[in-house]
Amino acid sequence: MSIHPSAVIAPGAVVPASCTVGPFCTIGPEVVLGEECALVSHVVLDGRTRIGARNVFYPFCAVGVAPQDLKYGGEPTETEIGDGNTIRESVTISRGTTKGGGVTRLGSNNLLMAYVHIGHDSQVGSHCILANCATLAGHVTIEDYASVGAFCPVHQFCTVGQYAFIGGGTIVTQDVLPFSLTSSRRENKAFGINKVGLARRGFSPERLQTLQKAFRLLLAAKLNTTQALEKIKELDGPDAAIVAAFIERSGRGVIK
């Protein structure tokens, strides 16, 4: 086991021999690390935190720390992290609250760039990219393969759909459609599908064509959301069904 002499590991913490713990890291008594994790330096892991294998934590990130919620009174809430995540400098991930479900979750194979904040009770899927200073308020859901641009604050209880791409500096106060390219100029708008990103993920031309039809009905046709939704349901393929289901369950409304 490679543990720098200046690191502080509390009794009770689980740190496999395959892990590397760099200088001035602090690991709390209820932290469980998976195999082959690396803490570069000055990393804080706290609270009831369960971490999978092959995660890399860069300097000054703080994971599993108490939520920034004035109602939090020290309850034994949790943080769960999957495998293969890269968590860059000064990232903060708050543990959950009892009223929000009690668990903040991060899936696997995500890239969290410098200064990202994941607020309490947020649920982040897998294969996501959160660029520098992306900020998730409490109770935010980020679905698989979504990308959140730099300096994007996401309002509480918002959902960012799978494969969505949010441009830098966009203030997100409503749900972001799956597969969409959403950005802010003077106001937030969905500009159609994330065509380049979807093609890179292996979407066939047929799938892209179906999604383009769905988004034209929603964004460009002279239809209200209810009318567009009925037309989208008539399209073939699972992707159109995903878009329709997302709109139907949206609690804050979607950005069009």
Active-site residue 168, yes or no?
Answer: no
CB 248 within 8 A of CB 240: no
Q: Which of 47, 82, 117, 121 is catalytic?
A: 121
Structure tokens at 10: 């509390």
Structure tokens at 138: 């409490």
Classified as helix, coil or strand, 108 is coil
Q: Which of 46, 47, 107, 120 is catalytic?
A: 120
Half-sphere exposure of 158 (CA within 13 A, CB side): 22
Q: Which of 138, 149, 192, 197 is catalytic?
A: 138
Active-site residue 121, yes or no?
Answer: yes
Q: Which residues partner with 14 through β-bridges?
A: 32
Task: Give the residue carrying structure tokens 């929603």.
Answer: 218
Q: How far is CA 192 from CA 29, 141, 182, in A?
A: 48, 21, 8
Active-site residue 100, yes or no?
Answer: no
Distance between CA 55 and CA 84 in Å, rounded? 5
Who contacts 90 (Cβ-Cβ below 8 Å, separation ≥6)? 59, 60, 61, 114, 115
Distance between CA 152 and CA 131 in Å, rounded? 9
Chain centroid, CA 9 distance in Å: 28
Cβ of 189: how many Cβ atoms within 10 Å? 16
Which residues are tagged catalytic?
120-121, 138
